[in-house]
Amino acid sequence: MIAMRTLDKTRPGVAAQAVGIAQGALDKAAEYASTRVQFGKRIGEFQAVEHMLADMATQVEAARSLVYSVARTIDAGEPNITKASSMAKLFASDVAMKVTCDAVQIFGGYGYMRDYPVEKMMRDAKITQIYEGTNQIQRSIIGSAVLKEAARRK
């Protein structure tokens, strides 16, 4: 029981780490897209890349908001933070993985090379889906909490 309560308070830290990784990847991808020229124009001017960056920015901001929300809940001394904590860790780490993969895509072949930072960011994002409880475990925790809440409403 003590270990589970500890995880409730450490998972938002993993979520915050994931948001930082995702933000870093977004920043690097936007910088690269604004300077890399293909077919006579910056790749950021291509609508497909623009849309990728828009989705990445939106996902990072949504993850950040969820992390801030659970942090406020913890700071307020709420006793039952398990679901919120697991949701923040799950969502933020999945966003980090998606955003870093998209950043690698924007960099093209360079994104996969160790000479560019997004390759390491993608590897770092992956571990956030694993430690402090895998994302599959987070889904079980969240699903169980949702079912308990529904049963109480009957």
C-alpha to C-alpha distance for 151 and 121, rounded to whole angstroms: 41
Please tell me which residue in 31, 119, 132, 149 is annotated as part of the active site. Answer: 132
Owner of token pair 């475990």 = 137
Is-catalytic flag, 78?
no
Asked if 46 and 121 count as a contact pair (C-beta separation under 8 A), the reply is no
Rounded-to-integer distance, Cα 26 and Cα 89, Å: 19
Cβ neighbors of 97 (< 8 A, separation 6 or more) are 122, 125, 126, 128, 129
Q: Give the residue numbers annotated as catalytic, written as ranges.
A: 132
